[in-house]
Amino acid sequence: MPRFLKDFLNRNGTGPGLAMLGLVLFWTVGLIILPQLSMLDFSFRPNLPPPELGGPKDLYTLENYKYLVYGPEGGSQAYNTVDLMVFFRTLVAAVCVTVFNLILCYPIAYYLGQTRGNHIRVLALLLIIPYWINEILRAFALRIIFGETGVLNTIFMGIGLFDAPFDFIRNDYALYAGLGYAYILLMIFPIYNVIESLDHNQIEAARDLGAPWWRIHWRVVIPYAKPGISSGCTMVFMLSAGALAAPQILGGPSSLWFTQLIYQQFNDSSDWPQGAAYAVVLLVTCVLLVLAVMRLFKVNMGDIGK
């Protein structure tokens, strides 16, 4: 038995330790790895009626992946520009939502982590309470707020900023705000957990040496908070790229999300192999982007798990 496993069982006891390992194994293998392998297998299968599954026509093929790039055979265009544009727009939008959340949440996390007092608990509770409501209900609430007769347009027209209602939904402002709001806690709390352990004397020492506030954050706080920042950015990016409820409810007519294409393939077209191929492409691309950014900013995989 490996030494780390023995140490784990010694710390937690044989029975509880084996139970925890079993649950983690079931979660990792049964609910993550095996479904993804099944999805991968589906993505290489042709779309056949149930009686023909397992027959001579049910062979592995790359047609589902070729469809994403080239579209249907005999199409009017050389490439599947619609689906490809939706794919790249989804990734760019997920990056923008991640950067927006980081800019918004870093000051909040720093204030929570470096300020002492009971009011911090109240502030943290106020951040958590809205998330007791279901994500779909929050999305509909935002649709009401951003609607043509919603709260924002009523206020802006009341103060004379707008002469006519502004369509926040058609211009995707509601969608990006909804995605940013949906995952804001996933950015705040990983950063807060790291910054809370930062010795405040280091910040005071930098101030005593005459460092401006931006240099203190750039040279002291941000390098120390890198594990929390990388963890928060990873979760927000992956969940934003894979979001479905917010794009369905808050998206305008021209803001099709790639997950909506996957949903249409699975449910509207009943083409599970094509939907599986789209899902695999999205998953692999997002993972590769995260790994590339981690390498660029010299972040280890262990930092995300801290």
Shortest CA distance to 224 belongs to which of 109, 81, 132?
Answer: 109
User: What's the pLDDT band for 221 if we cut at 50, 70, 90?
Assistant: very high
pLDDT tens digits, one per residue of 194-217: 998 888 888 888 888 888 988 999
Q: What is the mean pLDDT of residues 101-114?
A: 92
What does the mean pLDDT of the chain come to?
87
User: What's the pLDDT band for 306 if we cut at 50, 70, 90?
Assistant: low
User: What's the pLDDT band for 100 if we cut at 50, 70, 90?
Assistant: very high
Rg (CA), the chain: 24
Q: Which of 4-13, 108-117, 189-198 has the lowest mean pLDDT?
A: 4-13
262 CB neighbour count, 10 Å cutoff: 21
Higher pLDDT, 226 or 6: 226
Q: What is the mean pLDDT of residues 224-239?
A: 92
pTM of the model: 0.88
Structure tokens at 265: 């393939």
What per-residue confidence (pLDDT) applies to 134? 86
Angle, nearest 10°, between helix axes 173-182 and 184-195? Answer: 40
> Is the pLDDT reported for residue 163 higher than 80?
yes
Q: What is the mean pLDDT of residues 128-132?
A: 88
Q: What is the mean pLDDT of residues 266-294?
A: 92
The alpha carbon torsion through 63, 66, 67, 72 (nearest 10 deg) reads -80
Three-state secondary structure of 94-151 = HHHHHHHHHHHHHHHHHHHHHCCCHHHHHHHHHHHHHHHCCHHHHHHHHHHHHCCCCH
What are all long-range contacts of 84-88, with beta carbons under 8 Å and residues at least 24 apart? 86/256, 86/257, 86/258, 86/261, 87/258, 87/281, 87/282, 87/285
> Is the pLDDT reported for residue 61 higher than 90?
no
Residue tagged 């920042």 (tokens): 229
Q: Which of 7-16, 61-70, 113-122, 241-250 has the lowest mean pLDDT?
A: 7-16
SS3 242: coil
What per-residue confidence (pLDDT) applies to 93? 93
136: Cβ contacts below 8 Å, ≥ 6 apart: 245, 249
> Is the pLDDT reported for residue 54 higher than 70?
no
CATH for the stretch 62-304: 1.10.3720.10
User: Can you tell me the distance from the alpha carbon of 127 to that of 250, in angstroms, rounded to the nearest whole number?
Assistant: 22
Residue 41: how many CA atoms within 13 Å on its side-chain side?
Answer: 8
Residue tagged 């911090």 (tokens): 120
Higher pLDDT, 100 or 3: 100
Structure tokens at 160: 């004379």
User: What's the pLDDT band for 50 if we cut at 50, 70, 90?
Assistant: low
> Is the pLDDT reported for residue 28 higher than 80?
yes
> Is the pLDDT reported for residue 84 higher than 90?
yes
What per-residue confidence (pLDDT) applies to 243? 92
Q: What whole-number percentage of the chain has pLDDT above 90?
A: 41
Q: How far is CA 212 from CA 13, 110, 113, 272, in A?
A: 50, 16, 20, 56
The alpha carbon torsion through 294, 296, 299, 301 (nearest 10 deg) reads 40
pLDDT tens digits, one per residue of 233-266: 999 999 999 999 899 999 877 778 999 999 999 9
User: What's the pLDDT band for 91 if we cut at 50, 70, 90?
Assistant: very high
User: Can you tell me the distance from the alpha carbon of 291 to that of 301, in angstroms, rounded to the nearest whole number?
Assistant: 9
Phi, psi of 211 (to 5 degrees): -75, 135
Burial 272-301 (b: 16+ CB within 10 A, else e): bbbbbbbbbbbbebbeebbeebbeeeebee
Q: What whole-number percentage of the chain has pLDDT above 70?
A: 93
User: CA end-to-end span of the chain, whole Å?
Assistant: 25
